[in-house]
Structure 1
């Protein structure tokens, strides 16, 4: 999947350099090819249910303190933006990011969930500040849905009897800030972007078809991007 995204980014970069698209720093459409660091939290917000008769449940119930943490990842990202005016635009992004969830506290060193593939469908409305030059800061906000695919029990969860795990899709909001820097009048530029997402998905753990644990998590990632842009 990561290779597919890289090919898509390269295709987009090739497309935006074709002569058919007349670049302009005042154009209506902007395409960005970015490198993106996804820095999630992943801590447990609430234990919604626990079956203490199960191996996993009884093990967790015996601990004084346990929590979880999702790993960071770096992925390619494609962003497409439409300008209604020079100051107001909407932007959507396309990327896939993969994570695993490990234990912290008394669960330090354990592997809870593997191969969590996330598609963060995001649409933000942005306001751009006109500084009278090539540097244009912006702020934005909008809704986001995290679609979750292909999650699997981690090695520790499997050892405690878990044979299936399901993480919910999650609806939340993203706050955004960044800066676009025009490189002359050709439409090319540089872009720096930061988003803070607020997401609380749930994770359900099953053993032989029985739900033995359900937790709600503060996923809440920072998503930091940098790359090139073309406006036309």
Structure 2
């Protein structure tokens, strides 16, 4: 993944140089853009590997994380009309339930996730409308996760989800709405990140599973550039 990321970032920088555009000062656009977005977070959550199982999970046990919609703030700085860097601020909350083996069983409750994300973006300015692509690193930070009701019934009293580093790919478009920097923004991100879940009973690790999160994150909202 690190190789994919470095190639992606290199390609974005190269395209920016090849398609050099006039300085920002000459086209009247500011360097900073702030977006307020409604964001759908659509994770996977399936089990990739079982490392420990002292409770005897059914052999075909599989899981799914629920979707969520949250407000998101994005801040973007333009180095040139064609090249920018963006970060986002949001928190999303998810449960993880069994789908097969333990259908409907709540295994993880109220896991709060901060998806720290930075992307380098290349913009293709076409008569005001600006499609873009991007890529960058992401770090998933979990806070306040609890064992689900089904595992609590088995005696589990603690759950941890590992914080992990991964990559994100991005594509979207900004559509100007007036001449004062207001724009409609549509954005799609695909993250490639997993996590390791560990359930404990009295300090003893009874279950450890690795999960593919790999969420799609789809956003729409308004941006102001100044």
TM-score bracket relative to the smaller structure: 0.7 to 0.9
C-alpha deviations, 1:109-143, integer Å up to 9, x for none?
Answer: 10001010001100000000121x12110000000
Distance 1:160 1:219 in 2: 25
Deviation at 1:50, TM superposition (A): 2.0
Specify the alignment match of 2:174 in structure 1: 180
Distance 2:100 2:110 in 1: 22
Corresponding position: 1:221 with 2:215: yes
Specify the alignment match of 2:146 in structure 1: 152
Distance 2:224 2:28 in 1: 8
Specify the alignment match of 2:59 in structure 1: 64
- From 106, 109, 118, the equivalent of 1:114 is 109
Q: How does 1:3-82 map to 2 (within 5 A)?
A: 26-51=29-54, 57-58=55-56, 60=57, 63-82=58-77
Name the CA shift for 1:80/1:223 in 2 (closer, same or farther; >3 Å): same
Specify the alignment match of 1:125 in structure 2: 120
Q: Structure 1-normalised TM-score?
A: 0.84
Secondary structure of the residue aligned to 2:102 is coil
Specify the alignment match of 1:9 in structure 2: none
Secondary structure of the residue aligned to 1:156 is helix
- From 74, 89, 96, the equivalent of 1:94 is 89
Distance 1:64 1:221 in 2: 25
Deviation at 1:25, TM superposition (A): 6.7
Deviation at 1:182, TM superposition (A): 1.0
Distance 2:59 2:84 in 1: 49
Secondary structure of the residue aligned to 1:217 is strand
The answer on whether the counterparts of 1:125 and 1:140 sit within 8 Å (CA) in structure 2 is yes
Specify the alignment match of 1:103 in structure 2: 98
The CA RMSD measured in Å over matched residues stands at 1.1
Q: Which runs of 5+ in 1 are unaligned?
A: 1-23, 52-56
- From 131, 136, 143, the equivalent of 1:137 is 131
Question: Segments of 4+ in structure 1 off by > 4 A?
Answer: none
Name the CA shift for 1:214/1:25 in 2 (closer, same or farther; >3 Å): farther
Distance 2:204 2:197 in 1: 14
Equivalenced residues, count: 200
Distance 2:71 2:159 in 1: 27
